Amino acid sequence: MDTEIFKSIAEGARPLALVTVVATKGSAPRHPGSKMLVAAEDDFSGTIGGGKGEVIALRTAAEAIAKKASAVIEVEMHGEEATGPNPTCGGSNRMLVEYIGEADAFRAPYRAALELMDSGRRALVARKITRSLRDSEVGVSLSILDESGAVVYDSKEGIDEKKAAAALSKGQAALDEEKAVFYDPLCPEEKLLILGAGHVGRALAAAALPLGFKITVADDRPAFVFEGRFPKGVETIQGNFKEIIERFPFDPATYAVITTHGHLYDLECARAVLARPYRYVGMIGSARKTKLILEQAKADGFDAAKVEAICAPVGLDIAAETPEEIAVSILAEMIAFRRRAALLPRLEAERKARRA
């Protein structure tokens, strides 16, 4: 949804208001970073949770467009409102209503963020909020940072590098109350390429669907990628593994899992994937088998550190047995990479110990 909203801003010309949840308390309906783009009270996309809060946000957004000024509002949903005949969540939302005018200066930062996401990289929108001369209005200035923390639009003035890095790493929005800066990380479309359509590949594709991945399953056997074998929303490709990998649009937001039907095919896939950009690569198999494949990849001249970083044997060590359990273990590991979890160094050490 963020991508579609940003495209509407970047490509549009009419005045708009972007409503963003920047902080919550209690049982708020949406999390910080949730957005709604408003052209008029009856013309909007996205949602910040519906109900009373959304009605107030829509009205404030229309006023912001008319006044050509941004605002911060807080909607309380406590007391009788939370317990009466039409109960609300019983929490509160603080929302930034950001005026976006027709001038190119309003659209440029959103184009910069889109360019990063289109290349498969995460972007961070840092919104610096300042009070204007009128108490009911605020000023908003934007900085856009890439995954490394480098500024690609505007300046670093007022930005806390540690908080920016934490938001980018976790993919979770956060408000710095003291400096009045909202750190809003934006993740590109994440692609999952499953190389092998056997029992584990099938279970992994089904389990990954609710997690927001664009899923493709590839196999060289026509009998394993026929229509109806995989859930709706999963793309299938039949053909040579190496050629499929070479054609696939890898980028820094790509996840690949090697689960083919043979040792030589696993090696072929590992060689082809190592030549591409990605965020995560996992390979199924025993510690002994995966060690042999990785040693061969290093002997072939691939960077040793990159080879060692392949998650092999794939998945968290949770004693998984069935294809469905193995799929859960793989996805847990992928989520750790998605969120750059603090346990990643420990997982790497455990993998190396298993292969030793």
- Span 156-201, pLDDT tens digits: 778 999 999 999 988 889 999 999 999 999 989 999 999 999 999 9
Angle between helices 287-299 and 263-274 (to 10 degrees): 50
What's the CATH class of domain 191-355?
A: alpha beta
Strand partners, 3: none
Q: Are 15 and 68 in contact (CB under 8 A)?
A: yes
Binned at pLDDT 50, 70 and 90, residue 79 comes out as: very low
Angle between helices 287-299 and 344-355 (to 10 degrees): 90
Flag whether pLDDT at 34 surpasses 70: yes
Instruction: Output DSSP code: residue 70.
Output: B
> What is the structure's pLDDT at 83?
43
Flag whether pLDDT at 132 surpasses 80: no
Percentage of residues in the chain having pLDDT higher than 70: 94
- Higher-confidence residue of 75 and 224: namely 224
pLDDT in tens, 269-279: 999 999 999 99
Q: Are 196 and 259 in contact (CB under 8 A)?
A: yes
> What is the structure's pLDDT at 78?
54
State the pTM of this model.
Answer: 0.81
Per-domain boundaries in the chain: 2-186, 191-355
> What is the structure's pLDDT at 254?
97
